[in-house]
Structure 1
Amino acid sequence: MADSPLPDKLDNARVLIYSHDTFGLGHLRRCRTLAHALVEQYKGLSVLILTGSPIIGRFDFKARVDFVRIPGVIKLHNGEYTSLGLHIDLQHTLKLRESIILHTAEAFEPDLFLVDKEPLGLKGEVESTLKLLKQKGVATVLGIRDVLDAPHLLRPEWESKGAGAALQEYYNEVWVYGDRSMGNPLEGLGLPAQIEQMTHYTGYLQREVPESVPSKHLLGVPQNYLLITPGGGGDGVEMVDWALRAYELDSSSLPHGLFVLGPFMALAEQQAFRERISRIENASLVTFDNRMESLIDNAAAVVAMGGYNTFCEILSFNKPALLIPRTRPREEQLIRAEKASDLGLVSLLDPRKGIDATEMHRALQALLKQSPPRELVADCFLNGLDKVCQRALALMPRS
């Protein structure tokens, strides 16, 4: 992060972060980034992350950052939820999660509670904790992405959950981890004017390579490779398939392709891609790397779906990027990709129009000549971690 006049010590201060993590890597990776920035800025501060992610143990954490793993819940294709690991029904799982969250907050005694994306948590599981912390006078913040979803899809969902009322009742501030030029993620939701007054745009969350040693997955990979990543991979089969078809059509005119499938891609799909890539001389495959920053930093360009974290990394490491976003059931990635494309930051292929191997091959060749994004944005575009630290300091009690 950039140098700032913020103090470097907050003795015994505590931040509790909640992330429901029902799908993919996005929420966990964002919360981890925020936690690391806070403890790096403030010595003596501790951060505890509440998460349902089944793979949180595969990530490294800085000193004074720890996590509590609550029972996992996964979202099905029909929009419903089910228990991930326990052989009990969803209601029992939610009661267990709510109890762990509440009792963790009681024991940890945070000075600041940061909730990721869902104002009341999954199925309202955080409301009892919000009530407790409000009684104790603990400041509470909702942190949201630059884009949530299309308003016509999100508004009925938030109205059914009572999200707007929850923001008024329990929250001190809303932090938008993005820049105003990319739009207002709460626009069109019919929220009271008070919510707009509570909202702070932080800028995007800049990423750094955690260590000077490159990822082990780069051993034997030529320089100036093309990175193809669908993020967590649970919904990225089509994108990977399109990119791979371009390599199968003619790989000789393309740089080495490093495909990172993601830990949530189905095993059958992973195996099918592995077999196809094994027949291509200048392509290789990785299932998961807990230091994606290193892979993106060393790439010549990136092909991705346009999830929030990958977009932050594309900006942070100044990489030409081609986005092929998911368009259902949420339009979040599509909206982000369209706005970024309009600003000239990335190129875009809209999958709703259909993509064939020839078109994909042309798009990959054009990507290699594309200008990097950073020359088109102001420095404040990536000031998110500094702004988060400033807002956190303003909200926490200080001795």
Structure 2
Amino acid sequence: MRKKIITRSKKGLNSIKTKNLSVFWSITFLSVILISCGNKISEDNLQVININNSLLKDTVDISNLIDTISIIKLNENVNVPLTDPFQLYAISQEQYVVLNYSSGDRRVIAFNKSGDYIKTIAKNGTDSTDGLNIADCFVDKNGMLIYDFAQNKITVYDTSLNLMKTVQGDKSRHYSHLARFSQSSDYVGFANFNLYNPNRSLIDIFDENFKTPNKSYFSFPSSDRRLLVLTYNKSFYQYGDTLRFYKHFDPSIYSITKTGVSRRFEIKYTEGSVSRNKLMSIIEQNFDKFNVDNPTPSDQRIALFDGLAFPNGNYLENKRLIYITSQFYKKGQHKNFVSLISKKDLHDFTTAKALTENKRFGIILPPLVEYDKYKDEHLAILSGAQLKSVLLPGNRLMGGLSIDLPAYYLIKVKFKNETE
């Protein structure tokens, strides 16, 4: 069961759903939230990311940091339009991939760089080649994989989206996200405390056969507890030849290779900074408040984190900058904010509830969900109704064209090279 949540902030952002903040609720099962057993997590190269959230403004104009912004309409298959674009990837110089996540319309779809529909790569359905429950897709420099947890199957494609092979697992497992290492054919799965994963671990690393894991990390015991815990629309991010990994209630960014897991970055805030162990202990000591069978009012759960700040889902990184969205619980309010961090000193050069470009383009930047390394562009995806809500009066982005409210649009943001 997955339930989306509407988030609200000022200046027209109230129509942007939490899926664009890269987060959804998932019912998961665990006893002790996190136990430091299993394989050891290295901290040998740990660095600190510093974010100043002490004076959190509603908006900050970052016109001086932006090179270009453009918008393209996704010209969908007229017979089967997009309903819930949940994941977005740039797979090559020429193509984007979208995972549509509606329960009755689960599809992986390809568009060209002009936004024109190319084909449906995979879908749930009744045909022999269809998926039963496509849970995730992942893109790296070698192509794409699609993970069907109901069939415990991985389908692998090249960068031109030609089918390469299928990989069948040996037993039933259920991962929220599955990725692979670009330097090999080994896989890594994030189980998110799911008891259908027989290893009782958050992270499992497999060889190319996708059978018994070679290594497991973040182990937890079994239990009949059923808790509401957040997970994201992506938990793995390809950076160079390593995978970044991030999870809720943890101010850390991890690096994963086939040889192991290391904590690469610790995120510290000027106000509300908290350790990952403290966040886990808060939940562990308040199991009853997170029990889905006996729900507690959300304001009582929010009160547990009063005064604390930690990431909430979107993480993008290139050689110059890091983009992070976070949340801050204060006096019964839940505030989302975004930060741009310089890779030179790992300090934020801007943090606000929303970033705007006021001088040339006229837009409140929506949450960015993908980095296109081929075009050096950060990407967002919005419905026409959501797009209308973030365009400022007098904007120059639509060129006089009307907005098709039910359609979906890509917003492409290119930051200046001086953004370091």
Fold match, TM over 0.5? no
Task: Give TM-score, length-normalised by structure 2.
Answer: 0.24
More helix by share: 1
**Structure having the larger proportion of residues in strand:** 2
**Structure with larger RCO (C-alpha < 8 A, sep 6+):** 2
State the TM-score, normalizing by the size of structure 1. 0.24
